[in-house]
Amino acid sequence: MGIEIFEDLPLAVSDLDYDQDVRVIILAARGEDFSVGLDLTGPMGEELGKYLQGGLAGQRQELYRDVHRLQRFCSCVAESRKPVLAAVHGWCIGGGLDLISACDVRYASSDAKVSLRETRMAMVADLGSLQRLPFILNQGVLRELAFTGRDFDAAEGERIGLFSRVFEDKETMLEEVMEIAQGMATNSPLAVQGAKRILNKMWEDKIEEMLDFVALWNSAHLASEDLMEAMAAFVQKRKPEFKGK
């Protein structure tokens, strides 16, 4: 995920949201994987590098605003009036998990592999997974995944409730998800969109509060020796050695 998708997706979702001919949105990906997370080798990595040294209040306020700006990438999906269905294949890491957490329903092919990986990168996830997954997963399961950052497969994802259904392969998944979407689209759009609005209302205020809190948290705590070590280890393709500093 580079800078471009953070700018383009909210615009695309907005266009679809106000297109009366569109009743359901399917979020899928081309290529080998759904998403391997943020592209730290490009401008996104440079953006993160600006904050590694901490800085004074002005720079911390800039980071706070940047986190909120990037959060729109996922929030636009959650706030869309239309149902959004995620169709996941291959890896779905970090920002990819943030994104599908904002979708209404999630499906996967059997080759899907997921990770709430930020703790392994000496970071606190701040784009929405820690705010939305508590309404999807059991607390104990979620905390284990968040604290370990371990990888898990599609079968486990279905078992813990992240995925509603798992299909044999990507092609079958896309065909089946399209059929599910068509079933939704035959219903009254006013009723379907109303149901989404009511369901969202149960927790949207809490999620907004939690998103603001993590933006504040990372504006204060993102810069660390551990994060610099994680970045160095990523570039050097080695295992990081964290010291809690």
Task: Map the chain to HEC letters.
Answer: CCHHHHHHHHHHHHHHHCCCCCCCEEECCCCCCCECCCCCCCHHHHHHHCCCCCCCHHHHHHHHHHHHHHHHHHHHHHHCCCCEEEEECCEEECHHHHHHHCCCEEEEECCCEEECCHHHHCCCCCCCHHHHHHHCCCHHHHHHHHHHCCEEEHHHHHHHCCCCEEECCHHHHHHHHHHHHHHHHCCCHHHHHHHHHHHHHCCHHHHHHHHHHHHHHHHHHCCCHHHHHHHHHHHHCCCCCCCCC
Alpha-carbon distance 91 to 116, whole Å? 11
What confidence tier does 66 reach under pLDDT thresholds 50, 70, 90? Answer: confident
Residues facing 105 on adjacent strands? 85
Q: Give the tokens for residue 44.
A: 């996104």
Question: What tens digit of pLDDT does each residue of 125-168 get?
Answer: 999 999 999 999 999 999 999 999 999 999 999 999 999 999 99
**C-beta of residue 157 within 8 angstroms of C-beta of residue 112:** yes
**Taking the complete model, does pTM exceed 0.75, yes or no?**
yes
Q: 138 Cβ partners below 8 Å, 6+ apart? A: 160, 161
Give the Cα separation of 121 and 133 in Å (integer): 19
Task: Give the pLDDT confidence score for residue 226 in this predicted structure.
Answer: 87
When mean pLDDT is compared across 39-53, 173-187, 197-211, the lowest value belongs to: 39-53
Structural domains of the chain, ranges and CATH numbers in brackets: 3-236 (3.90.226.10)
Q: Is the dihedral of CA 113, 117, 60, 234 positive or negative?
A: negative
In whole angstroms, what is the distance from residue 102 CA to residue 58 CA? Answer: 30
Amino acid at 63: L
Beta bridge partners of 84: 25
Closest CA to 71 of 83, 82, 79: 79
| Nearest alpha carbon to residue 97 among 50, 51, 129, 135 | 129
Determine the Cα–Cα distance for residues 61 and 57; give it in Å rounded to an integer.
6
Q: How high is the pLDDT of residue 154?
A: 98
Whether pLDDT at 51 is above 70: no
The 10s digit of each residue's pLDDT in 181-231 is 999 999 999 999 999 999 999 999 999 999 999 999 988 888 888 888 888
pLDDT (mean) for 68-73: 90
Calculate Rg over the CA atoms of the chain: 18
What average pLDDT does this structure show over 57-65? 82
Greatest Cα pair distance in the chain: 56
Q: Give the pLDDT band (50/70/90) at residue 170.
A: very high
